[in-house]
């Protein structure tokens, strides 16, 4: 063998060794099924999402116990639903990845498409999300394209859900079931809120609390006499602004008696706000809609007294008082199923509550039947512990 031939053989051998090594260590994909691939970047997107979810759940639980995380890595000392947090995050990322594949397959099977309007929604969502969280995701290995693919898949999920359960879908929810669910889980209300603490968080004096209670009673009397709730709320906003300003002055030491006097002062003059008689019909409608709040029964961030008393109230359009530790509410509840327009406004939220579990089970059934290739090297490489 000539020297030249030997050199060529050596070079080819080296190339082969490096090629085989590169193939053995290839971690640019994690899950694969036919022409759908969960790339490492997309998997990391779902892993980071799961990590954020786990951090939120652990933090919420600790807050309920009046504790907090001293450092981010402390989440791994906890469990979620009896599963160690690290394992929970990995399982969640796996579930999201497999659901992604199932959604892509089902979207094709149903011959669905993403409209230009929904493509714009995806683009806008990506811009908004990336401007806030892009650097964090990039730092942990998930690029913009991966986030875009996850958002596009979420849109496809939404469209499949509508195809299954929407009004024109294959399995629409009966109207009576929809109405019952809305009435039991959502409440349209308008309320005036009277704080029982000042702007610094200090509890009001007994005299100030009595004055707040009297004001609430006065509001009830005015409403029962026929006063427009939107007019009252305009005056109430002006009153709260006045109270806040006087409390600031008091805190700065410029007025030692302002806090007490503001709590017992009468309602601000309506001259600073527009009454119903000064507004045209369109302005009235716009103002009325802006004053509506929607209370969901499972909202754990609201005072429990507000949730319980609101859903105990079965008389619509009648003012009543709710008192919690920190607030007094003067509230009116409205019939959320009074007309088709109102029902349609909350239909999507109701559908999710009614059929989300069924949909998740359907997706799980779909991906459990798929022959999905798994790159364990990638899973081992991309550990939740590396997320910073």
Contact 322, 310 (CB under 8 A): yes
Structure-token match 């791994």, residue found: 76
Which element (helix H / strand E) includes 162?
A: helix 144-165
Q: How far apart are CA 310 and CA 306, in angstroms?
A: 6
**pTM score, whole prediction:** 0.76
Q: Identify the burial level of 63 via C-beta atoms within 10 angstroms of its C-beta, where 0-12 means exposed, 13-18 middle and 19 or more buried.
A: exposed
Q: Which residues contact 291 (CB under 8 A, 6 or more apart)?
A: 190, 229, 230, 233
- pLDDT digit string (tens) for 236-292? 999 999 999 988 888 777 544 444 444 444 444 444 455 666 788 888 888 889 999
Other Cβ atoms closer than 10 A to 273: 16
Which residue has better confidence, 362 or 265? 362
8 has a pLDDT exceeding 50: no
Other Cβ atoms closer than 10 A to 329: 20
**Mean pLDDT, to the nearest integer, of 219-233?**
96
Which element (helix H / strand E) includes 330?
A: strand 327-334
């Amino acid at each position: 063998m000539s020297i030249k031939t030997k050199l060529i053989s050596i070079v080819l051998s080296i190339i082969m060794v490096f090629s085989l090594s590169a193939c053995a260590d290839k971690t640019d994909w994690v899950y694969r099924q036919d022409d759908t691939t969960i790339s490492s970047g997309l998997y990391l997107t779902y892993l980071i999402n799961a990590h954020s979810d786990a951090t939120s759940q652990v933090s919420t639980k600790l807050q309920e116990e009046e504790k907090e995380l001293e450092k981010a890595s402390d989440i791994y000392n906890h469990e979620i639903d009896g599963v160690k947090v690290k394992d929970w995050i990995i399982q969640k990322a796996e579930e999201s990845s497999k659901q992604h594949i199932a959604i892509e397959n089902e979207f094709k099977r149903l011959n669905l498409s993403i409209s230009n309007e929904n493509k714009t929604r995806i683009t806008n969502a990506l811009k908004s999300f990336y401007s806030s969280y892009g650097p964090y995701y990039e730092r942990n290995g998930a690029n913009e394209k991966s986030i875009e693919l996850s958002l596009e898949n979420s849109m496809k999920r939404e469209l499949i859900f509508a195809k299954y359960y929407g009004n024109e879908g294959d399995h629409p929810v009966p109207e009576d079931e929809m109405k019952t669910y809305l009435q039991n889980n959502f409440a349209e209300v308008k309320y005036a809120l009277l704080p029982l603490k000042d702007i610094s968080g200090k509890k009001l004096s007994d005299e100030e609390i009595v004055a707040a209670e009297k004001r609430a009673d006065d509001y009830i009397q005015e409403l029962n006499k026929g006063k427009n709730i939107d007019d009252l709320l305009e005056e109430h906003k002006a009153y709260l602004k006045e109270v806040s300003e006087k409390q600031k002055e008091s805190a700065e030491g410029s007025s030692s008696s302002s806090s007490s006097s503001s709590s017992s002062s009468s309602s601000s003059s309506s001259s600073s706000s527009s009454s119903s008689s000064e507004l045209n019909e369109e302005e009235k409608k716009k103002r009325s809609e802006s004053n509506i709040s929607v209370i969901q029964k499972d909202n754990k961030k609201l005072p429990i007294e507000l949730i319980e008393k609101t859903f105990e109230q079965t008389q619509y359009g009648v003012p009543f008082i709710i008192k919690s530790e920190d607030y007094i509410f003067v509230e009116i509840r409205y019939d959320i199923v009074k007309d088709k327009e109102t029902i349609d406004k909350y239909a999507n939220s109701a559908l999710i509550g009614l059929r989300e579990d069924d949909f998740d089970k359907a997706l799980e059934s779909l991906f459990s039947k798929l022959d999905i290739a798994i790159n364990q090297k990638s899973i081992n490489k991309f550990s939740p512990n590396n997320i910073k």
